[in-house]
């Protein structure tokens, strides 16, 4: 209803009188919230000039921000509008700086800042967080940092963090350290920026030493250090740190649970469900079940969280049993519940059960399948080799299928040898996700197996023309606490010779086993 009202205002805008606009600028602001293209915006701009409303700075700032920053904007129009503003304010300058940087015109962004200083307008923290990203050299960043200190923004943690990050990207680690040492407010954001910076420059040991000294760590801090280890091929250390993170989080959760139990707190809906979700994601399914059993009352969110908890921790049968119990004596399932149930079916490759669940969801509970349900179902069918069923399901979807759904079908086709369908799906995926290197690689590998070298070369040329970067995927296997990493056809491992000999022997045994079964069938 509200949307239709706004549309009506938008439609009747050009018919409204000049006097109404002069006395009611709020109507114009209301309309500015609904416009989504430059043609409409230009009409508004013309009327602000005719009616004199252009003198209101908040209206011109709104017009400028849309033109400069919106994905449907027009940077040239924004530049023209900006140059016609007699006295731009700091918000106008920020819009232009960010607009130029967003469109990779860093020099123009810097020239706007120069104009800003020339007319005496004072920059704010937002100005500098944007501006430092335009610095392509250390000397330029030094100058900007000098301006930051001059205007008293050196105490702003987000400005400081941005400066540290850019210094590190420019490989000026000592300068980044200097900025950090001069910072008066070193919160977790500032510390984490330095961890990112050290890792990005290959100084993993320094990053870890700094990480260990952090007075406070959050999820982003751990992610920075773990990803730093991975980027620098320290996979064992990455896994050890991730385990430490999970253990610490689990210990915090258990401490809270002990406090609640000792003080006789009741596990209400919000508290209990949060605990279930927390323990399930940490992999402590027994603690999850303990909280579930302690809850005096459980709603659909609680049951759904418990079912999903079982599914993501491999307790698929228990999850399906809990769903059956929920149908008998629990609340009515919702769409989220069925995502958990289908996930459990997916892990067990229970195709017929999944079809039954999907049917009950629609017919019994009147719940229309959403994209998450289709993803589970298509991936399950594809992995089970029932690719024709998967394709029919995709074609019948009420919404547009995404790349993940088509990707599941492609993988299933390749695994089970449905190469004709794989070719069609692969071409569609490349149109849908032209920068996804994995789609090209899968399709090229299929053509190579079929000795269709013409199509292999065509795909490689397409990747080159589109500047698609191919990222090699690693596989990790943990044995006795040691993580071993492999690429496809990788022979860099110290025991690669014996590994390939064992693999060859396994292949021969599987082949002979398959032949024996075929002879029994005859």
Taking the C-alpha atoms of residue 501 and residue 17, their distance in angstroms, rounded to an integer, is 86
Note the pLDDT of residue 62.
Answer: 78
Q: Which two tokens stand for residue 421?
A: 């369908």
CB atoms within 10 A of CB 21: 18
- Mean pLDDT (the chain) is 82
The share of the chain scoring above pLDDT 70, in percent, equals 81
Q: Which of 383-392, 431-440, 507-516 has the lowest mean pLDDT?
A: 507-516
Considering the domain architecture, whether residues 462 and 388 belong to the same structural domain is answered as yes
The most confident of the ranges 49-63, 187-201, 493-507 is 187-201
Question: Which of 38-47, 222-231, 243-252, 452-461 shows the lowest per-residue confidence on average (mean pLDDT)?
Answer: 38-47
pLDDT at 342: 95
User: What's the rounded mean pLDDT across residues 87-103?
Assistant: 88
Asked if residue 296 has pLDDT above 90, the reply is yes
- The answer to whether residue 176 scores a pLDDT higher than 80 is yes
Rounded Cα gap, residues 337 and 361, in angstroms:
10
What is the pLDDT confidence band of residue 87, given thresholds at 50, 70 and 90? confident
End-to-end CA distance of the chain: 70
Structure-token pair, residue 448: 């190579």
Does residue 40 lie in a domain region? yes
Name the least confident of 88-97, 305-314, 363-372, 487-496: 487-496
Domain of 86 in residue numbering reads as 1-122
Q: CA–CA separation, 282 vs 253, rounded Å?
A: 10
Structural domain includes residue 207: no
- What is residue 494's predicted lDDT score, i.e. its pLDDT? 61
Q: What CA–CA distance (Å, rounded) separates 474 from 233?
A: 11
* Residues 19, 110 share a domain: yes
Residue with the bigger pLDDT between 153 and 351: it is 351
Higher-confidence residue of 406 and 437: namely 406
Q: How far apart (Å, rounded) are the C-alpha atoms in residues 117 and 101?
A: 18
Please say whether the beta carbons of 138 and 175 come within 8 A. Answer: yes
Q: Kindly report, residue by residue over 183-215, the tens digit of the pLDDT.
A: 877 888 888 888 988 898 889 999 999 899 998
**Do 300 and 414 reside in the same domain of the chain?**
no
The average pLDDT across 500-509 equals 72
Same-domain check for residues 399 and 462: yes
Assess whether pLDDT exceeds 50 at residue 164.
Answer: yes
Domain count, the chain: 4
Same domain, 453 and 490: no
pLDDT at position 8 is 44
Does residue 96 belong to any structural domain of this protein?
yes
- 401 or 472, greater pLDDT: 401
Q: Indicate if 457 and 483 belong to the same structural domain.
A: no
Q: Is residue 490 in some structural domain?
A: yes
pLDDT at 317 over 50: yes
Residue 23 reports pLDDT greater than 80: no
User: Which residue would you say has higher pLDDT here, 465 or 20?
Assistant: 465
Please tell me the predicted confidence (pLDDT) of residue 243.
83
In terms of Cα–Cα distance, which of 387, 454, 389 is closest to 416?
387
Same domain, 3 and 118: yes
Query: Are residues 408 and 320 part of one domain?
Result: no
Mean pLDDT of 11-35: 52
The pLDDT-based confidence of 11 (bands split at 50, 70, 90) is very low
pLDDT of residue 104: 83
- What's the CATH number where 431 sits? 1.25.40.10
In percent, the amount of the chain with pLDDT more than 90 equals: 31
Among candidate residues 471, 487, 504, the one where a domain is terminated: 471
End position of a domain, from candidates 368, 398, 423:
368
Which helix or strand (DSSP H or E) is residue 502 part of?
helix 496-521
pLDDT of residue 378: 96
This prediction has a pTM of 0.58
**Per-residue pLDDT at 41 exceeds 80:** no
Q: Is residue 501 part of a domain?
A: yes
The first and second tokens of residue 313, run together, are 């921790």
Per-residue pLDDT at 406: 95
Residues 99-134 have pLDDT tens digits of: 888 888 888 888 989 899 898 888 998 889 888 888
pLDDT attached to residue 517: 46
Domain end (from 122, 143, 161): 122
Q: Given this model, what pLDDT does residue 9 score?
A: 46
Tell me the C-alpha distance between 454 and 368, whole Å: 44
The answer to whether position 81 is within a domain reads yes
Structure tokens belonging to residue 282: 């940490």
Q: Is residue 139 part of a domain?
A: no
Q: What is the DSSP string of 439-485?
A: HHHHHHHHHHHTT-HHHHHHHHHHHHHTTPPP-PPPEEEEETTEEEE
Provide mean pLDDT across the span 298-314: 95
Query: Are 3 and 117 part of one and the same domain?
Result: yes
**109/4 same-domain check:** yes
Average pLDDT over residues 18-38: 57
pLDDT at 507 over 80: no
Q: Does 403 reside within a domain?
A: yes
Do 347 and 396 share a structural domain? Answer: no
Q: Would you place residue 6 in the very low, low, confident or very high pLDDT band (cuts 50, 70, 90)?
A: very low
Say yes or no: 36 and 108 in one domain.
Answer: yes
């Amino acid at each position: 209803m509200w949307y239709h009202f706004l549309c009506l205002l938008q439609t009747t805008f050009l018919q409204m009188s000049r006097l109404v606009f002069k006395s009611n600028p709020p109507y114009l602001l209301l309309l500015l919230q609904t416009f989504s293209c430059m043609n409409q915006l230009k009409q508004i701009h013309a009327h602000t000039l005719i009616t004199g409303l252009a003198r209101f700075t908040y209206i011109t700032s709104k017009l400028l921000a849309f033109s400069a920053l919106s994905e449907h904007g027009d940077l040239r129009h924004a530049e023209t509008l900006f140059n016609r503003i007699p006295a731009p304010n700091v918000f106008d300058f920020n819009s232009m700086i960010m607009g130029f940087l967003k469109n990779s015109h860093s020099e123009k962004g810097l020239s706007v800042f120069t104009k800003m200083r020339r007319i005496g307008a004072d920059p704010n923290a937002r100005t500098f967080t944007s501006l430092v990203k335009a610095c392509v050299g250390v000397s330029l960043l030094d100058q900007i940092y000098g301006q930051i200190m001059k205007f008293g923004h050196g105490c702003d943690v987000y400005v400081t963090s941005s400066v540290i990050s850019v210094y590190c990207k420019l490989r000026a680690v000592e300068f980044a350290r200097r900025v950090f040492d001069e910072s008066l407010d070193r919160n977790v954001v500032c510390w984490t920026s330095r961890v990112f910076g050290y890792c990005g420059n290959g100084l993993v040991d320094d990053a870890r030493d700094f990480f260990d000294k952090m007075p406070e760590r959050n999820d982003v801090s751990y992610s920075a250090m773990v990803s730093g280890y991975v980027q620098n091929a320290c996979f064992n250390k990455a896994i050890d740190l991730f385990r430490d993170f999970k253990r610490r989080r689990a210990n915090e959760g258990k401490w809270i649970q002990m406090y609640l139990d000792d003080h006789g707190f009741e596990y209400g809906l919000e508290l209990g469900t949060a605990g279930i979700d927390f323990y399930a994601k940490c992999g402590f399914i027994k603690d999850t079940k303990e909280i579930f059993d302690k809850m005096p009352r459980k709603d659909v969110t609680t049951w759904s969280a418990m079912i999903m908890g079982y599914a993501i921790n491999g307790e698929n049968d228990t999850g399906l049993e809990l769903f059956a119990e929920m149908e008998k004596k629990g609340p009515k399932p919702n769409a989220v519940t069925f995502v958990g149930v289908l996930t459990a079916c997916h892990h067990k490759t229970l195709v017929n059960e999944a079809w039954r669940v999907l049917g009950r969801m629609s017919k019994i509970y009147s719940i229309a399948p959403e994209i998450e349900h289709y993803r589970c179902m298509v991936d399950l069918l594809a992995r089970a080799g029932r690719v024709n069923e998967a394709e029919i399901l995709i074609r019948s979807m009420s919404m547009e299928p995404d790349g993940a759904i088509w990707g599941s079908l492609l993988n299933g086709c390749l695994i089970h040898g449905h190469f004709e369908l794989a070719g069609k799906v692969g071409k569609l995926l490349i149109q849908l996700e032209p920068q996804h290197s994995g789609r090209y690689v899968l399709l090229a590998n299929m053509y190579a197996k079929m000795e269709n070298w013409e199509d292999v070369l065509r795909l490689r040329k397409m990747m080159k023309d589109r500047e698609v970067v191919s990222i090699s995927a690693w596989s990790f296997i943990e044995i006795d606490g040691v993580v071993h990493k492999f690429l496809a056809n990788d022979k860099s491992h110290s025991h690669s010779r014996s590994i390939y000999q064992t693999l060859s022997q396994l292949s021969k045994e599987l082949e002979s086993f398959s032949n024996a079964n075929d002879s029994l069938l005859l």
